[in-house]
């Protein structure tokens, strides 16, 4: 009996931002594996479809469980929020494949792209990612803070727009403030900063400020923070970064 595994992202929140390909993959699956709140976003499927919910900090265990199910002949959908390849479960699945049963390397494994929080947040305010940009997670659960600081400094020196994922949590409420302190040494105080909470949902909320005035306490784990480049500007209520270096 041949099983399969597909890694999907449910998008940032609204049901209509989930792709048709992801919906089809969820409908075909015999088993859904994921973080509990992400599974809760998915309407009940077939009566014989099994759900395997787990905590947010057990990504590798979740991936191994999904691979074991697929190896036993099940058709498994591993569920992430946003896009599964951006700070999410696709990388965990392939890490588990690399360190696990060699037979897992022959499984039918696919990844379906989704709408990540960075894109949903940008759409709420205009086009802040219109020029060169990068994404950095401020979570130090899987990498050291020194690594995060080095990458922030490099992004600032390169004058990228910076999208900050995982800006704050109960366990590390101070790190966004530390990131702002570092960026203030390398970027102008007038640099636009956007806090977009619950992007892509009906509860979306935007706070526009500057790097000099940015208050890290505004953010929580549902917030995506965008720090502009030197060319990022405001036009009416919209924020955008031009593709060209030419300024008028």
CATH (domain of 183):
3.30.950.10
DSSP string, the chain: ---EEEEEE-BSS-GGGS-HHHHHHHHH-SEEEEEHHHHHTSPP--TT-EEEEE-TT-HHHHHHHHHHHHHTT-EEEEEESB-TTSSSHHHHHHHHHHHS-GGGGGSEEEE-----HHHHHHHHHEETTSSSEEEEE---SSS-HHHHHHHHHHHHHTT-EEEEES---SS-TTHHHHHHHHHHTTS-TT-EEEEEESTTSTT-EEEEEETTT--GGG--TTEEEEE--TT-EEETTEEE--SSS---
Q: What pLDDT is recorded for position 56?
A: 76
5-42: pLDDT as tens digits: 999 999 998 889 999 999 999 999 999 999 998 898 88
pLDDT at 247 over 60: no
**Distance from C-alpha of 248 to C-alpha of 245, rounded to nearest angstrom:** 10
CA distance 203 to 220: 14
Enter the tokens of residue 37.
């709140």
29 and 84: one domain? yes
Q: Domain residues for 194?
A: 118-240
128: which 2 tokens? 């802040």
| pLDDT in the model for residue 211 | 97
Q: Count the domains in the chain.
A: 2
> Average pLDDT of 86-102?
96
Q: What pLDDT is attached to residue 18?
A: 93
Average pLDDT over residues 79-100: 95
Which of 115, 132, 150 is where one domain is finished?
115
Q: Are residues 180 and 124 in the same domain?
A: yes
Q: Is the distance from CB of 230 to CB of 128 less than 8 angstroms?
A: no
Domain boundary among 88, 115, 142: 115
Residue 191 reports pLDDT greater than 60: yes
Instruction: Specify whether 48 is located in the same domain as 96.
Output: yes
Q: Average pLDDT for residues 54-78, to the nearest whole number?
A: 93
131-172 pLDDT tens trace: 999 999 999 888 999 999 999 999 999 999 999 999 987 777
**Residue 204 and residue 227 in one domain:** yes
pLDDT confidence tier of residue 121, bands split at 50, 70 and 90: very high
Domain presence at residue 131 = yes
Neighbours of 200 (CB within 10 A): 24
Whether 133 and 184 map to the same domain: the answer is: yes
How would you list the strands of the sheet with 233-235, edge to edge?
Answer: 126-127, 238-240, 233-235
What CATH number does residue 87 fall under? 3.40.1010.10
pTM of the model: 0.91
Residues 142 and 153 in one domain: yes
Co-location of 189 and 207 in the same domain? yes
């Amino acid at each position: 009996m041949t099983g399969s595994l597909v890694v999907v992202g449910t998008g940032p929140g609204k049901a209509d931002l989930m792709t048709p390909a992801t919906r089809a993959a969820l409908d075909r699956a015999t088993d859904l594996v994921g973080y509990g709140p992400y599974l809760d976003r998915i309407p009940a499927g077939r009566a014989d479809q099994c759900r395997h919910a787990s905590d947010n900090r057990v990504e590798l265990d979740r991936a191994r469980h999904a691979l074991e199910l697929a190896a036993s002949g099940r058709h498994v959908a591993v569920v992430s929020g946003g896009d599964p390849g951006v700070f999410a479960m696709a990388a965990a699945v392939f890490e588990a494949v690399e360190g696990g049963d060699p037979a897992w390397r022959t499984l039918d494994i696919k990844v379906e792209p989704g709408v990540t929080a960075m894109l949903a947040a940008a759409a709420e305010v205009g086009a802040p990612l219109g020029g060169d940009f990068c994404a950095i997670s401020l979570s130090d659960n899987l990498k050291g803070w020194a690594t995060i600081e080095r990458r922030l400094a490099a992004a600032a020196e390169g004058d990228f727009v910076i999208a900050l994922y995982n800006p704050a949590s109960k366990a590390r409420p101070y790190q966004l403030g530390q990131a702002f302190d570092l960026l203030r040494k390398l970027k102008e105080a007038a640099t636009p900063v956007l806090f977009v909470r619950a992007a892509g949902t009906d509860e979306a909320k935007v706070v526009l400020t500057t790097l000099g005035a940015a208050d890290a306490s505004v953010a929580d784990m549902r917030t995506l923070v965008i720090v502009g480049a030197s060319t990022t500007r405001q036009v009416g209520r919209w924020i955008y970064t031009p593709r060209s270096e030419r300024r008028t």
